Amino acid sequence: MNDPTSGVSHLDFDAKESTFLDASELIINMGPQHPATHGVLRVILKLDGEKVMGLECVIGYLHRGVEKIAENRTYAMFNPYVDRMDYVAAVSNGLGYCEAVEKLLNVEASPRAKYIRVILTELNRIASHQLWLGTHALDIGAMTPLFYTFRDREEILKIFEKYCGARLTTHAFRIGGCQYETYDGFEQDVRNFLDFFAPKIDEYEELLTTNRIWVQRTRDVGVISGKDCIALGVTGPVLRASGVKWDLRKAQPYAAYKEFDFEIPVGTKGDTYDRYLVRMAEMRQSMRIIRQAVDGLPSGPIMAKVPKVLKPPVGEIYHSIEAPKGELGYFIVSDGSTQPYRVRVRPPSFVNLQALDLMCKDQLVADVIAVIGTLDIVLGEVDR
């Protein structure tokens, strides 16, 4: 594949008498109601027997017009909406949006707020990866990891609930800082979670990492090179598993990430197994970051000085963060009023989904499932 951007060749839906044998391929519609498409993704597969000749994603079944809604809300009012995009990693979405607006307003969150943000975001990264692991394993046929990950994810959600009252769509941050001061015993809860979770990752790995069937199902499946990743704009663990050491937390540090010591796990081959390993390692790194952040949590106010009515100066800003799934960017244009003139979200899932066709070409139907799982898409984010 020299030109990954060439896209899918036109699918001929009027192919006469499609059978398994003749020249015209079998066309199968997978989704939008299908157990393995993680929501309402529709994939049109062009098959030659079991081999995938090409595929086309049909998206938009979950489109809610989030970006348009932003134009009719004030900056603060739009904040909860972003949680509904990548609902598995709501905290990351909020962080990205808040930081983008802060950049536009030219304010900076207080150090304590930054630390709290890092803790919650990294907890959310772990939760997101857990959900990915469970569903991915279930897609490949291992049902047990799903229940293990959901058991442990519950602990994270409990911390969220105690902190801000919501489990999934947290709306944890405000422009200029945090919504709430931490509750009593927050640090202890987080530390307890870290102690609780460290052996659990080993448990997951014990089930899967050396499982022969798992390795056979994921090795050399959905291979994508670093070059193709960059050409397609693929980011996040998918990019890193292909050997490109690119993590916005290191490359363009935001929040308080500059102050923490952690590594960027990278893969070598860019196959599904590498992506699995990278995400597992990322969970461990996240734990490392959380521990440093909890230990060094500074005291002080949680909110910076922010005017009551937000009226950013005329201008535009692009700010991106490393969400669990990749680069999550917000492009905000301000016309000086209380409402943004335009908000454009760069969702990692949407961009990563482009690579699906390239990664599935010449693989088998069963691999499509594995690749959709390994891309870790959330349709709320793809369709917005």
Partner 1 sequence: MTPVATPFFFYMLSGLMVVGGLFVITRRNPVHSALALIVTLLAQAGLYLMLYAPFVAGVQIILYVGGIMVLFLFVIMLVNLERTEKEKPFNKQWLVGIASAVALGAMFVGVYVRGRALLPEHTVSLPEAENTQQVGLMLYGNYMLAFEIASLLLLVAIIGAVVMAKKRI
Partner 2 sequence: MIPDYITSYLDKSVRVTPGEAGNIFWALVYILCVFGGVSLVVVCMNWLERKILAHMQIRLGPMRVGPHGLLQPIADALKLILKEDIIPEGADVLVFWTAPLIILLAVFSVYCVIPFGPTHAITDMNIGLLFMLGVSSLGVLGIVMAGWASNSHYPLIGALRSSAQMVSYEVAMGLAVVSAVLMTSLNAQGTGTLSMIGIVQAQQAQQTWFLFKFFPLGLVAFVVFAIAMVAETNRAPFDLPEAESELTAGFHTEYSGLRWSLFMLGEYAAMIAVSSIAITLWLGGWMRPFPHLLTGQAWDLAFSLFPALTFFGLAGLAFYAVGKMWAILYFRVQAIGLAGLAAVFGLIGLILLLRPVRTGVQDIYWFVAKIAVFLYLFIWYRATFPRYRFDQLMKVGWKVLLPIGLGVLVLTAIAGVIFG
Partner 3 sequence: MVPITTLHYLVVAAALFVLGVIGVLTRRNVVIVLMSIELILNAVNLNLVAFSRMWGLHGQIFAIFVIADAAAEAAVGLGILIAFFRNKETVNIDEVDLLKW
Binding interface with partner 3 (CB under 8 A): 17, 21-22
- Give the alpha-carbon dihedral of 191, 193, 195, 201, to 10 degrees: -140
Q: Smallest distance, Å, CB 10 to partner 1?
A: 23
**Does 14 engage in binding with partner 1 (CB under 8 A)?**
no
Q: Smallest distance, Å, CB 260 to partner 2?
A: 33
Stretch that binds partner 1, among 14-22, 82-90, 126-134, 239-247 (CB under 8 A): 14-22
With the C-alpha atoms ordered 84, 87, 90, 96, is the resulting torsion angle positive or negative? Answer: negative
Options 3, 14, 19, 212; binder of partner 1; rule CB under 8 A: 19
Query: Quick one: which of 317, 325, 363, 187 has its CA closest to 247?
Result: 325
Nearer to partner 2, 144 or 188 (CB): 144
What letter would DSSP give residue 303?
Answer: B
Query: Quick one: which of 94, 13, 60, 92 has its CA closest to 384?
Result: 60
Nearer to partner 3, 19 or 210 (CB): 19
Nearer to partner 2, 141 or 336 (CB): 141
Q: Smallest distance, Å, CB 363 to partner 3?
A: 24
Nearer to partner 1, 17 or 261 (CB): 17
**Does 20 engage in binding with partner 1 (CB under 8 A)?**
yes
Q: How far is CA 89 from the centre of its chain?
A: 7
Identify what 34 binds: partner 1, partner 3, partner 2, none; CB under 5 to 8 Å per kind.
partner 2
Identify what 36 binds: partner 1, partner 3, partner 2, none; CB under 5 to 8 Å per kind.
partner 2
Asked whether the beta carbons of 16 and 243 are under 8 A apart, the reply is: no
Asked whether the beta carbons of 11 and 46 are under 8 A apart, the reply is: yes
Options 2, 3, 14, 21; binder of partner 1; rule CB under 8 A: 21
- Dist CA 263 CA 70 (whole Å): 36
Asked whether the beta carbons of 368 and 38 are under 8 A apart, the reply is: no
Q: How far is CA 313 from the centre of its chain?
A: 31
Query: Quick one: which of 351, 346, 335 has its CA closest to 238?
Result: 351
> Residue 115: beta bridge partners?
none
Where do contacts with partner 2 occur on this chain (CB under 8 A)?
20, 26, 28, 34-36, 50, 137-144, 146-148, 151, 207-208, 211, 213-214, 216-217, 364-367, 369
Nearer to partner 3, 18 or 209 (CB): 18
- End-to-end C-alpha distance for the chain, whole angstroms: 30
Options 14, 17, 261, 295; binder of partner 1; rule CB under 8 A: 17
Task: Report the interface residues with partner 1, using CB under 8 A.
Answer: 17, 19-21
